[in-house]
Amino acid sequence: MAKAPQRTPTQGPAFIRLLASLTSAPLAATNTSLSEHLSEWLDWTRAVALSKALDGRLAAHDVAPPAFASNAHEECQRVRTALVVAIHAIADPAHTPARSAASASRDDPLDAFEFTPFRERYRDLQQSMQAEVGRLRGHLRDLLADTSADMARLAEVDSVMEITLTPREHALLGSVPTLLGQHFDRLRDSADASQDALSLPHAPEHAPWLERFGQDVRDVALAELDIRFQPVEGLLSALRCQ
């Protein structure tokens, strides 16, 4: 018996691997290096600003004595914990409203469930993550800038990189709800052709396909949070070294 072809495992961060697992289409491979990508994303003004920061040619300023920010780590942890709680809330099928019974097909109870509530909640979550991470980065940069000239230089580099990469990050991560929506439709269509649909009139929020989708949303959102928090973790690590 011929074996079904196996899909080549996707390389890269957990976030990319999770997204790849939700789609049947293979991800396009690229031989372009990160430095080559950066050269495409940096306009000349930001390239000059980044060069000055990397070369240490910053505007002269008085550096205050090292300040120990005892609450920096706690604040970052508090924000991350709050975002994790929000992730678990949006991924809970029991808290996802269905369409009214009148708008759902009597012959197909799965029609009562749409991706719209998940999409709206996920986008709200992404906005919260972006806002909170941006606030934390700004606060940590201020703390670093007050410790030493070298840390002020690092803070400036991070500032330029945030300004440069945020639009690109927003565009790429903005496609995640679309991928999740396609995954939702595939799971629902598969359930429509299986016995899972029979359980919906009795306990729709506990349908296996919907519970699986909720777990997939949770996994993707947690992986996205890890990606977004990497600059914060880097700045925190630098601050601990002071």
The Cβ-side half-sphere exposure at 114, using a 13 Å CA radius, reads 13
Specify the residue for token string 């996205």.
224
> How far apart, in whole angstroms, are the C-alpha atoms of residue 38 and residue 165?
9
User: Quick one: which of 176, 22, 207, 183 has its CA closest to 110?
Assistant: 207
SS3 201: coil
- Asked if the model's pLDDT at residue 37 lies above 50, the reply is yes
| Mean of pLDDT values over 107-125 | 77
CA-to-CA separations, 110 to 68, 92, 119, 211, 232, in angstroms, rounded? 56, 17, 18, 14, 42
The Cβ-side half-sphere exposure at 66, using a 13 Å CA radius, reads 10
Beta-sheet strands, E only, within 77-184: none
Instruction: Give 10-29 pLDDT, tens digit per residue.
Output: 556 788 888 888 876 555 55
- In the DSSP assignment, the letter for residue 199 is G
What integer pLDDT is reported at residue 24 of this predicted model?
A: 64
CB 181 within 8 A of CB 121: no
| Mean of pLDDT values over 216-225 | 95
Contacts for 79 with CB less than 8 Å, ≥ 6 apart: 132, 136
User: Quick one: which of 25, 238, 226 has its CA closest to 152?
Assistant: 238
198 or 72, greater pLDDT: 72
Token digits for 219?
């996994």
Percent of the chain with pLDDT over 90: 36
* One-letter identity of residue 5: P
> How far apart, in whole angstroms, are the C-alpha atoms of residue 151 and residue 239?
8
Percent of the chain with pLDDT over 70: 61
> How far apart, in whole angstroms, are the C-alpha atoms of residue 239 and residue 221?
27
> pTM score, two decimals?
0.77
